[in-house]
Amino acid sequence: MNMLENLLNWKYTQKIITVVIIVNAIVLGILTDKTLSADEISCLEAIDRLCLVIFVIELIAKLAVYKKSFFKESWNIFDFVVVVSSIIFISSSISVIRAFRIFRILKAIAEFPELQILVSAMLKTIPSMTWSLVLMFIIFYIFAVFGSTMYGDAFPDLFGNVGASMFTLFQVMTFESWATAVARPIMEDHGFAWIFFLAFILLTSITVLNVMVGIVVDAVSTVSEAARQKKELENDSHSDDDINQEIELHLKEIEKLLALKKSHQE
């Protein structure tokens, strides 16, 4: 069991698993090519199954070494779900379900602490981001109603109803041909339409979106600092264990010397 634990903690183990994840993702991408021959598909499917076998072996090894403590770490649970679901997907004959095998690449999240920090930060931003999205929706809705009322009759494709207006405004927010395809044609009939578009862009693309970016950056910084502190505590605990082991060794040596001295005196 100690040898198995050392193998899991081997510095090249994570690199090997990373290579397997990348190879598996490439194989699943190539399998989408409809021009592949039957032999090529069989070969790629065999590689895919081999990758899954490696993932299963790694999971079994971790369960054998860490036992119940394996499930105390949330990322280990995530890794367990990914591998087990992959077994279900690969054994299914339904193409839609088999397509979900690509989610196996998410296993990389459980392998890299850096990715874990980013995902944790994204999850941490959900409450704040939700209210930012609510604010964004309110702004969209106000401008959509205003745009439909002002420009709906002349430009029904762009502002014919609230739904079409919100889609057009989303195009404007992403700066996708917003000037040539949306703003300038409307400005030819409505000279002051530029006020409408500039106000919308300032409120959404420049203000609200930057607020969202700030929320994400702050969350990443917080999670990174927490991860750093956790790592330092683990290192300190490991160093304390090393010191205790050294003390125990010295005490045993002293006991041996005392016993030896006592025997000589006798």
Higher-pLDDT residue of 146 and 107 is 146
Q: How far apart are CA 122 and CA 223, in angstroms?
A: 10
Higher-pLDDT residue of 238 and 158 is 158
In this structure, the answer to whether residues 89 and 184 fall within a common structural domain is no
Query: What pLDDT does 245 receive?
Result: 67
The CATH number linked to 213 is: 1.10.287.70
In this structure, the answer to whether residues 143 and 260 fall within a common structural domain is yes
pLDDT grade for 167, boundaries at 50, 70 and 90: very high
pLDDT tens figures, 101-114:
676 777 777 677 77
Query: What pLDDT does 144 receive?
Result: 94
Higher-pLDDT residue of 165 and 259 is 165
In this structure, the answer to whether residues 42 and 75 fall within a common structural domain is yes
Higher-pLDDT residue of 121 and 111 is 121
pLDDT tens figures, 189-218:
888 899 999 999 999 888 888 888 888 888
DSSP state at residue 67: G
Residue 259 identity: A
In this structure, the answer to whether residues 47 and 161 fall within a common structural domain is no
The CATH number linked to 56 is: 1.20.120.350
> Are residues 182 and 158 in contact, defined by beta-carbon separation less than 8 angstroms?
yes
In this structure, the answer to whether residues 50 and 178 fall within a common structural domain is no
**The domain boundary residue, chosen from 49, 84, 111:** 111
In this structure, the answer to whether residues 251 and 154 fall within a common structural domain is yes
In this structure, the answer to whether residues 203 and 117 fall within a common structural domain is yes
- The highest-confidence range among 44-48, 78-82, 122-126, by mean pLDDT, is 44-48
111-118 long-range Cβ contacts below 8 angstroms, 24+ apart: 111/14, 111/17, 111/18, 111/21, 112/18, 113/227, 116/75, 116/227, 117/220, 117/223, 117/224, 117/227, 118/220
DSSP state at residue 43: H
Radius of gyration of the chain (CA): 30
pLDDT tens figures, 37-47:
888 889 988 99
Count of other CB atoms within 10 angstroms of residue 158: 21
In this structure, the answer to whether residues 232 and 149 fall within a common structural domain is yes
Q: Report the candidate in 8, 52, 48 with the shortest Cα–Cα distance to residue 29.
A: 48
In this structure, the answer to whether residues 205 and 256 fall within a common structural domain is yes
Query: What pLDDT does 28 receive?
Result: 83
In this structure, the answer to whether residues 101 and 119 fall within a common structural domain is no
Note down the domain range covering 86: 2-111
In this structure, the answer to whether residues 70 and 137 fall within a common structural domain is no
pLDDT at 138 over 90: yes
In this structure, the answer to whether residues 30 and 72 fall within a common structural domain is yes
**The domain boundary residue, chosen from 65, 81, 111:** 111
Query: What pLDDT does 90 receive?
Result: 67
**The domain boundary residue, chosen from 111, 130, 151:** 111
**Number of domains comprising the chain:** 2
